[in-house]
């Protein structure tokens, strides 16, 4: 065997020089043409940072990528959720008789006839649960909020179930409810319990109140943000398929198949080999899939009740009955010297939560991390209301907290008659004073400089109401963005086969962010394989464990694990090569070889180049595949010496009608420092999409609650406004150079959240620059901008 | 979705006969629990009706599909106007060369509404019969006098930012959502109707109702009558007309305030000879004030005249809190639209 192996391998040697692997080299033949990325290169020469197209893009546009509700089974039936119309009280009776008479109806599942569910709240805690008692769907007669699920109608067809659901009569003993945050400040309490990713406000430093009182220039402003709902394109759904052996395969809309499996097993008392959860394709989530929503348990229980496979999909209206970004009130006080030096910073927030859980997010801490100030005090409190528990939404906490500080800094700049960007540079934090640690990397200055240059900021007149076109005022505003650069554990498995194909597997998710693409790129680059030879598997709770896909940590965590496991494969391959009889690789070391074009290449000291196909190596070892696993654990000892964060600078231009207050955001530049960019095209898409959402947050998004009814009322996409194409104009994204080996071995941070942080503030600040009207509540609708009566 | 019967008709006569058939479906479930809307409905584009059925707001027991009726033509009338078939699609109407040339106000208004997909599907007749977008009307879980007469109006003291400031009643402060109808009101179109008693013509001003104490009834069309067409008068005000729509986002949003303005200006004297101003988003029907319009006649098209006219239109306007801004917004919108219509808009 070795003879033929040597013949085949060495016959092709010395024909071409080996190509050194250059991880950061641009890909030849690719580039930007009229705003569209084209990839004309053979994709075998990918490198980290290549702007490759989504590896799952073709499957998605061909309809081959199946989203949750597209899964089915021969014995499938359909469940439609009935939601409460009262905000607080008890269910006294549920009359299902009319619904049960509808042909095709199999069951009306309520708290009275559901299958067994564990009562202890600890069994309902998921991996993203905040402190408190998690909601248990259909557990008992208690109604905590309007829109809470109270029954599931199960029928042979969806139409039968939907019709029958309209006939279910629920009788309540109504209790007084309260949903009004602003009317209940006196009930504000300090949050109890802990939550993943949450850290309470840092301890006060100096004497902020005295310093504020003594400061020659003061800003004292209050900001309000209404409720927002996630509304991903794909509605939440769960399909429970019963196998002949009783095994449950659960397709769930989730950002972690393991988290859903965890809750299903614990809440329903099932063993781990009785349930598999899958989520291979997710049509957007933005945080709404970080916790299993109520349809997950309802689908599994319903399947148990009727002993059939069951599909439960929420309607768009019901997407307003699950978690949301909490209504938040903030007050920021800034005291400064006349040269702009910050002397005092007080940042307080009060946000809503439910009666049963203390949902928390990092809202106020950012302000004193962004700006150097010796006298700082924070406050963060919650008011429990008769609402569903709020839920992480893209850049939770920062989207509100950074908005407030960045609008307050803008207000301060006018009080000082100082350029807003100059004011930020004046108070630039060289190290994080909250923790008194250095940043692992912080290229925010470069974001400011490069963003300002691309935007043309230096031409900006200082005074508001200085620029005009026709009947519109024109304004330019800017803001800073910041988010954590986190890393978590991740375990991956990699199998390289004799045919040269590689499969890398882990239970992470791809919520549309490009996980498949980034991981495929990392593996292909590491092993020098063409993209087509690499399959990345995710979205299955039986795969090696991975963190929830949230918080912008997936590339740094899972990506690093992929990189390590590929290195393990490379060591193994080199070992095989060296162990061959008469091997020319005998003296090769990992640092002296290259993995290129599916080959292991080695240039000897004498200049000879040897190469062997990876598949051939596996066959030579008498194997059909080699497998490696790796559990990546963050290097806590190293990481805890630093504060790790991503940064951005956002510049916006608006045009505002002088009479009507209608706002058009005509131009946005977002300059981002997020470490080394792994997958250039999907990373850019993340930022562009986040800017779109930031504009939407600034101008449109608002779930309106009728406090008399205790109910969200604009629960459809006709009246819950999100930005449409006509609202979006030029968006330029640039990534500044940054490479952070503290955050991850790849040098990468994450780009999921940072893109939205600061966008609404930049828009708000631009509106002030245009009109001289400061709007301190979002969304900034025309009635708040147009000057009238009061 | 509730169960319903479905019939397809090939002629107006068949459709009118079909709509009088009481559904024969034996209903084991007893009477429908909600709503008072007529149990028999015509369906064309279905862009509004199907939504309302899916949301349990309307409960038709019989749908008569009229898409096969020969009512989709757009053609000149003997009087020199233009007949818009009831089944001509909104998009085909807006882009029809005769509409664009002679009634640019109508074209602009249609294109300001909905989305291209919806305009491709929605018909002219159906556009007239859109139901309000009041949040409370759309949520079967809460009271609404329009949906369930006598149940109450939570909008009055609740979320009323998108609601009426003119012509409302204690029972209902909902608005009519159409853009197209605002232009049709300004153009004084006539709605052509067929019913069991034969054909009749309804002046556009008389087609939609104010809510009064029967907010459940939107129009003067009887349940067994069918809109066959819309007749546009010869005068299209092509020289001096404008449609302005103010909304919370740049597309796919209902009007906070919209204005259709049409003027006839005497070329020799430069004076206004005819003025039409219709408002959308402010009332239960497209709103016109003839007295205020008359105040412009004989005046030169100057901002002062427009300001005075706008003040007259809004003299009796009443806000309910969240929608107070609509009154100054409507005032400014009237002035801006009139300026645009006569080409005197200045920067």
pLDDT for A711-752, tens place per residue?
A: 999 999 999 999 999 999 999 999 999 999 999 999 999 999
Tell me the sheet residues that pair with A482: A647
Average pLDDT for B272-296: 98
- In this complex, the residue of B141, B254, B333 whose CB is nearest that of residue A85 is B141
- Is A597's pLDDT higher than 50? yes
What is the 8-class DSSP label of residue A748? Answer: B
User: A75-79, B61-65, B153-157, B181-185: which range is least confident on average?
Assistant: B61-65
DSSP assignment of B33-51 equals: SS--S-SEEEESS-TTHHH
A789 to chain B nearest CA, in Å?
8
Q: Which residues of A are less than 8 Å from B30 in CB distance?
A: 98
Is B332 close to A660, i.e. CB distance below 8 A?
A: yes
CA B81 to chain centre: 20
- In this complex, the residue of A146, A721, A786 whose CB is nearest that of residue B249 is A721
Q: What percent of chain A has pLDDT over 70?
A: 94
3-state secondary structure of B231: strand
- Is B310's pLDDT higher than 90? yes
Q: Which residues of A are less than 8 Å from B254 in CB distance?
A: 718
Q: Percent helix, strand and coil across chain B, each rounded to 5? A: 25, 20, 55
**Joined tokens for residue A222:** 């209050």
Say if strands B5-8 and B62-65 run parallel, antiparallel, or are unpaired: parallel
Mutate which of A661, A699, A709 to test chain B, going by most B C-beta atoms within 10 A?
Answer: A709
User: A176-190, A420-434, B34-48, B149-163: which range is least confident on average?
Assistant: B34-48
Taking alpha carbons only, the member of B211, B191, B209 closest to residue B201 is B191
- Is B31's pLDDT higher than 90? no
> Which residues of chain A have a Cβ shorter than 8 Å from any chain B Cβ?
83, 85, 98, 101-102, 146, 159, 162-163, 166-167, 317, 468, 470-471, 659-660, 662, 664, 699-700, 704, 706, 708-709, 711, 713-716, 718-719, 721, 723-727, 781-783, 786, 788-789
Q: Where are the beta strands (DSSP E) in A65-120?
A: 76-83, 89-95, 105-109
Is A708 close to B154, i.e. CB distance below 8 A?
A: yes
Question: How far is the C-alpha of A44 from the C-alpha of A39, rounded, in Å?
Answer: 12
Show the CA angle centred on residue A304, arms to residues A298 and A310, nearest 5°.
Answer: 60
**Comparison of pLDDT for A787 and A663, the residue scoring more:** A663
Mutate which of A82, A719, A720, A726 to test chain B, going by most B C-beta atoms within 10 A?
Answer: A719
CA distances from A424 to A408, A482, A498, B334 (A): 12, 13, 57, 44
The pLDDT of residue A13: 36
φ/ψ of A406, rounded to 5, equals -75, -30
Please count the helices (runs of H) and the strands (runs of E) in chain B. Answer: 12, 12
pLDDT for B241-276, tens place per residue?
A: 999 999 999 999 999 999 999 999 999 999 999 999
Q: Which residues of A are less than 8 Å from B141 in CB distance?
A: 83, 85, 146, 711
**Comparison of pLDDT for A34 and A136, the residue scoring more:** A136
Residues B272 and B265: beta-carbon distance below 8 Å: yes
- Is A157's pLDDT higher than 60? yes
Taking alpha carbons only, the member of A616, A499, A515 closest to residue A558 is A515
Mean pLDDT over the full length of chain B:
94
The pLDDT of residue B37: 67
Question: How far is the C-alpha of A127 from the C-alpha of A120, rounded, in Å?
Answer: 16
DSSP assignment of B133-191 equals: --TTTT-TTS--TTTSTTS--TTTTS--TTS-SSS-BTTB------SHHHHHHHHT-EE
Is A726 close to B249, i.e. CB distance below 8 A?
A: yes
φ/ψ of A556, rounded to 5, equals -65, -30
Is A704 close to B333, i.e. CB distance below 8 A?
A: no
The pLDDT of residue A198: 94
Kindly state the greatest CA–CA separation across chain B.
Answer: 73
Q: Which residues of B are less than 8 Å from A660 in CB distance?
A: 246, 329, 332-333, 336
Is B2 close to A163, i.e. CB distance below 8 A?
A: yes
A320 to chain B nearest CA, in Å?
13
Mutate which of A783, A784, A789 to test chain B, going by most B C-beta atoms within 10 A?
Answer: A783
The pLDDT of residue A7: 41
Is A101 close to B133, i.e. CB distance below 8 A?
A: no
Is B159 close to A704, i.e. CB distance below 8 A?
A: yes
- In this complex, the residue of A704, A709, A714 whose CB is nearest that of residue B142 is A709
The pLDDT of residue A21: 35
> Which residues of chain B have a Cβ shorter than 8 Å from any chain A Cβ?
1-3, 28-30, 33-34, 54-56, 133, 135-136, 138-142, 154, 157-159, 161-162, 246-254, 256, 324-325, 328-329, 332-333, 336, 345, 347
For residue A753, indicate whether it is catalytic.
Answer: yes
Q: Which residues of B are less than 8 Å from A715 in CB distance?
A: 139
To 10 degrees, what angle do helices A680-699 and A515-527 make?
Answer: 160
Question: How far is the C-alpha of A778 from the C-alpha of A193, rounded, in Å?
Answer: 29
Confidence of residue A36 (pLDDT cuts 50, 70, 90): very low
Is A782 close to B333, i.e. CB distance below 8 A?
A: no
- In this complex, the residue of A664, A721, A789 whose CB is nearest that of residue B328 is A789
Taking alpha carbons only, the member of B42, B44, B104 closest to residue B236 is B104
Confidence of residue B24 (pLDDT cuts 50, 70, 90): low
Is A471 close to B345, i.e. CB distance below 8 A?
A: yes
Mean pLDDT over the full length of chain A:
93
Burial of A342 (0-12, 13-18, 19+ CB in 10 A): buried
Is B2 close to A166, i.e. CB distance below 8 A?
A: yes
CA distances from A754 to A297, A684, A687, A730 (A): 32, 12, 8, 19
Confidence of residue A4 (pLDDT cuts 50, 70, 90): very low
Q: Which residues of B are less than 8 Å from A177 in CB distance?
A: none
- Is B32's pLDDT higher than 70? no
Mutate which of A168, A662, A763, A790 to test chain B, going by most B C-beta atoms within 10 A?
Answer: A662
Q: Which residues of A are less than 8 Å from B331 in CB distance?
A: none
Residues B343 and B267: beta-carbon distance below 8 Å: no
Average pLDDT for B26-33: 46
Q: Which residues contact B197 (CB under 8 A, 6 or more apart)?
A: none
Question: How far is the C-alpha of B147 from the C-alpha of B171, rounded, in Å?
Answer: 11
Residues A667 and A652: beta-carbon distance below 8 Å: yes
B297 to chain A nearest CA, in Å?
26
φ/ψ of B153, rounded to 5, equals -125, 95
Residues A171 and A93: beta-carbon distance below 8 Å: yes
Q: Which residues of B are less than 8 Å from A781 in CB distance?
A: 248
Average pLDDT for B278-286: 98
Q: List the catalytic residue out of A352, A549, A653, A753.
A: A753
Question: How far is the C-alpha of A540 from the C-alpha of A512, rounded, in Å?
Answer: 16
Average pLDDT for A180-207: 95
Is B142 close to A716, i.e. CB distance below 8 A?
A: no
pLDDT for A211-244, tens place per residue?
A: 999 999 999 999 999 999 999 999 999 999 999 9
Residues B183 and B278: beta-carbon distance below 8 Å: yes
**Joined tokens for residue A36:** 């569209």
φ/ψ of B327, rounded to 5, equals -70, -55
Is B328 close to A711, i.e. CB distance below 8 A?
A: no
pLDDT for B201-252, tens place per residue?
A: 999 999 999 999 999 999 999 999 999 999 999 999 999 999 999 999 999 9
Q: Is there a cis peptide before residue B329, judged by omega within 30 degrees of 0? A: no
Taking alpha carbons only, the member of A378, A318, A322, A325 closest to residue A348 is A378
- In this complex, the residue of B55, B252, B325 whose CB is nearest that of residue A786 is B325
The pLDDT of residue B163: 98
φ/ψ of A647, rounded to 5, equals -135, 160
- Is A50's pLDDT higher than 50? yes
Q: What percent of chain A has pLDDT over 90?
A: 92
Q: Which residues of B are less than 8 Å from A162 in CB distance?
A: 1, 54
Q: How many CB atoms lie within 10 A of CB A621?
A: 17
Question: How far is the C-alpha of A660 from the C-alpha of A393, rounded, in Å?
Answer: 31
Q: Which residues of B are less than 8 Å from A786 in CB distance?
A: 325, 328-329, 332
- Is A16's pLDDT higher than 50? no
Tell me the sheet residues that pair with A278: A251, A540
Q: Percent helix, strand and coil across chain A, each rounded to 5? A: 30, 25, 45
**CB contacts < 8 Å between A and B, how many?**
110
The pLDDT of residue A782: 98
Question: How far is the C-alpha of A73 from the C-alpha of A63, rounded, in Å?
Answer: 18
- Is B28's pLDDT higher than 60? no
Taking the alpha carbons at both ends of chain A, their separation in whole angstroms is 91
Tokens 């989520």 correspond to what residue? A279
Taking alpha carbons only, the member of A170, A453, A221 closest to residue A332 is A221
Taking the alpha carbons at both ends of chain B, their separation in whole angstroms is 53
DSSP assignment of A501-565 equals: -EEEE-S---SSS-HHHHHHHHHHHHHT--GGGEEEE-SBTTSSP---S-TT-HIIIIIHHHHHH
A706 to chain B nearest CA, in Å?
6
pLDDT for A439-462, tens place per residue?
A: 999 999 999 999 999 999 999 999
A715 to chain B nearest CA, in Å?
8
Is A166 close to B56, i.e. CB distance below 8 A?
A: yes
Q: What percent of chain B has pLDDT over 90?
A: 89
Taking alpha carbons only, the member of A603, A759, A628, A619 closest to residue A696 is A759
Confidence of residue B345 (pLDDT cuts 50, 70, 90): low
The pLDDT of residue A581: 85
Question: How far is the C-alpha of A472 from the C-alpha of A196, rounded, in Å?
Answer: 46
DSSP assignment of B99-142 equals: HHHH-HHHHHHHHTSS-HHHHHH-BHHHHHTPPP--TTTT-TTS
What's the full length of chain B, in residues? 347
Average pLDDT for A40-66: 84
Task: Give me the torsion for CA of B169, B174, B176, B179, rounded to 10°.
Answer: 130
Q: Which residues of A658-686 are buried (b: 16+ CB within 10 A; e: fewer)?
A: bbbbbbbbbbbbbbbbbbbbbbbbbbbbb
Residues A280 and A538: beta-carbon distance below 8 Å: yes
pLDDT for A252-281, tens place per residue?
A: 999 999 999 999 999 999 999 999 999 999
Residues B68 and B9: beta-carbon distance below 8 Å: yes
Is A781 close to B154, i.e. CB distance below 8 A?
A: no
Residues A650 and A668: beta-carbon distance below 8 Å: yes
Taking alpha carbons only, the member of B252, B284, B246, B314 closest to residue B163 is B284
């Amino acid at each position: 065997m070795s003879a033929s192996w040597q013949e085949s391998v060495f016959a092709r040697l010395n024909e071409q020089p080996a190509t050194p692997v250059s991880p950061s080299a641009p890909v030849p033949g690719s580039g930007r043409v009229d705003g569209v990325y084209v990839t004309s290169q053979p994709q075998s020469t990918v490198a980290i940072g290549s702007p490759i197209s989504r590896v799952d893009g073709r499957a998605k546009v061909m309809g081959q990528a199946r989203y949750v509700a597209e899964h089915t089974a021969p014995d499938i039936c359909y469940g439609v959720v009935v939601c409460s119309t009262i905000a607080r009280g008890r269910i006294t009776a549920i009359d299902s008789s009319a619904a049960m008479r509808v042909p095709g109806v199999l069951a009306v599942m309520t708290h009275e006839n559901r299958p067994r569910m564990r009562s202890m709240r600890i069994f309902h805690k998921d991996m993203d649960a905040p402190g408190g008692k998690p909601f248990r769907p259909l557990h008992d007669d208690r109604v905590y909020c309007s829109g809470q699920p109270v029954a599931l109608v199960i029928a042979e067809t969806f139409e039968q179930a939907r019709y029958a659901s309209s006939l279910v009569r629920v009788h309540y003993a109504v209790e007084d409810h309260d949903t009004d945050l602003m009317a209940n400040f006196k009930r504000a309490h300090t949050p109890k319990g802990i939550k993943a990713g949450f850290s309470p406000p840092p301890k006060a430093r100096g004497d902020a109140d005295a310093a504020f009182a003594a400061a020659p220039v003061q800003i004292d402003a209050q900001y309000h943000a209404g409720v927002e709902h996630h509304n991903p394109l794909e509605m939440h759904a769960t399909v429970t398929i019963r196998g002949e052996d009783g095994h449950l395969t659960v397709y769930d809309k989730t950002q972690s198949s393991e988290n859903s499996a965890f809750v299903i097993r614990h809440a329903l008392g099932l063993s781990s080999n009785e349930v598999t959860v899958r989520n291979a394709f997710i049509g957007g989530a933005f945080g709404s899939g970080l916790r299993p929503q109520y349809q997950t348990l309802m689908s599994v229980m319903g399947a148990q009740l009727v002993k059939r496979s069951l599909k439960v999909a929420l309607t768009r209206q019901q997407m307003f009955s699950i978690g949301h970004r909490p209504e938040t009130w903030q007050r920021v006080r800034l005291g400064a010297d006349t040269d702009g030096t910050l002397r005092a910073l007080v940042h307080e927030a009060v946000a809503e939560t439910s009666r049963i859980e203390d949902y928390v997010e990092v809202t106020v801490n950012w302000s004193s991390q962004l700006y150097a100030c010796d006298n700082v005090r924070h406050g963060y409190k919650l008011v429990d209301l008769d609402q569903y528990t709020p839920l992480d939404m893209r850049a939770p906490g920062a989207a509100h907290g950074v908005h407030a500080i960045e609008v307050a800094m803008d207000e301060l700049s006018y009080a000082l008659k100082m350029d807003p960007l100059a004011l930020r540079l004046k108070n630039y934090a060289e190290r994080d004073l909250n923790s008194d640690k250095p940043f692992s990397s912080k290229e925010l200055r470069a974001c400011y400089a490069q963003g300002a240059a691309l935007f043309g900021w230096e031409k900006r007149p200082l005074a508001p109401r200085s620029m005009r076109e026709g009947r519109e005022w024109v304004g330019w505003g800017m803001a800073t963005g910041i988010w954590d650069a986190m890393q978590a554990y991740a375990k991956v498995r990699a199998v390289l086969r004799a045919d040269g194909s590689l499969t890398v597997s882990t239970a992470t998710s791809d919520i549309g962010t490009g996980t498949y693409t980034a991981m495929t790129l990392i593996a292909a680059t590491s092993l020098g394989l063409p993209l087509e030879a690499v399959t990345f598997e995710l979205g299955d709770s039986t795969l090696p464990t991975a963190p929830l896909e949230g918080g912008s940590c997936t590339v740094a965590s899972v990506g690093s694990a992929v990189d390590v496991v590929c290195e393990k494969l490379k060591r193994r391959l080199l070992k095989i090569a060296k162990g061959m009889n008469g091997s020319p690789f005998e003296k090769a070391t990992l640092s002296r070889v290259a993995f290129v074009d599916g080959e292991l290449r080695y240039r000897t000291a004498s200049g000879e180049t040897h190469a062997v196909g990876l598949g051939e190596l596996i066959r030579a070892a008498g194997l059909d595949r080699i497998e490696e696993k790796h559990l990546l654990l963050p290097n806590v000892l190293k990481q805890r010496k630093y504060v790790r964060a991503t940064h951005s600078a956002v510049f916006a231009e608006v045009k505002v009608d002088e009479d009507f207050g209608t706002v058009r955001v005509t131009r946005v530049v977002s300059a981002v420092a997020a470490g080394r960019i792994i997958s250039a095209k999907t990373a850019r898409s993340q930022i562009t999409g986040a800017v779109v959402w930031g504009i939407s947050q600034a101008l449109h998004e608002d779930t309106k609650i009728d406090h008399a009814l205790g109910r969200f009322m604009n629960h459809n996409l006709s009246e819950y406004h999100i930005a449409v194409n006509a609202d979006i104009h030029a968006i330029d994204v640039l990534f500044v150079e940054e490479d952070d080996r503290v955050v991850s071995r790849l040098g990468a941070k994450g780009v999921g959240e940072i893109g939205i942080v600061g966008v609404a503030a930049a828009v708000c600040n631009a509106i002030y620059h245009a009109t001289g009207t400061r709007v301190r509540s979002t969304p900034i609708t025309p009635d708040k901008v147009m000057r009238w009566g009061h | 979705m509730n169960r319903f019967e479905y019939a397809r008709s090939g002629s107006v006569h068949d459709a009118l006969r079909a709509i009088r058939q009481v559904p024969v479906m034996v209903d084991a479930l007893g009477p429908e629990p909600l709503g008072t809307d007529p149990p028999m409905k015509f369906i064309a584009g279905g862009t509004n009706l199907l939504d309302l059925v899916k949301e349990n707001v309307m409960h038709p027991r019989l749908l008569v599909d009229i898409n096969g009726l020969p009512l989709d033509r757009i053609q000149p009338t003997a009087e020199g106007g233009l007949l818009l078939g009831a089944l001509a699609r909104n998009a085909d109407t807006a882009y029809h060369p005769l509409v664009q040339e002679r009634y640019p106000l109508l074209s602009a208004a249609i294109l300001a509404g909905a989305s291209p997909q919806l305009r491709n599907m929605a018909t002219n007749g159906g556009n007239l019969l859109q139901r309000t977008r009041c949040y409370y009307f759309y949520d079967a879980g809460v009271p609404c006098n329009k949906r369930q007469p006598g149940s109450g109006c939570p909008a009055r003291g609740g979320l009323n930012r998108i609601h009426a400031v003119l012509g409302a009643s204690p029972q209902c402060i909902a608005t009519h959502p159409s853009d197209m109808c605002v232009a049709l009101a300004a153009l004084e179109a006539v709605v052509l109707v067929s019913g069991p008693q034969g054909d009749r013509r309804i002046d556009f001003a008389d087609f939609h109702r104010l809510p009064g104490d029967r907010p459940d009834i939107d129009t003067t069309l009887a349940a067994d009558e069918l809109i066959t067409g819309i007749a546009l008068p010869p005068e299209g005000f092509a020289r001096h007309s404008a449609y302005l729509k103010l909304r919370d986002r740049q597309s796919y949003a209902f009007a906070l305030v919209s204005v259709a303005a049409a003027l006839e200006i005497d070329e020799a004297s430069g004076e206004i000879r005819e003025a039409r101003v219709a408002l959308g988003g402010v009332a239960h029907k497209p709103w016109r004030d003839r007295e205020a319009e008359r105040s412009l006649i004989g005046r030169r098209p100057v901002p002062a005249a427009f300001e005075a006219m706008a003040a007259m239109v809004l003299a009796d306007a009443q806000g309910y809190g969240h929608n107070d801004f609509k009154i100054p917004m409507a005032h400014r919108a009237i002035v801006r639209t009139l300026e645009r219509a006569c080409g005197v808009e200045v920067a």
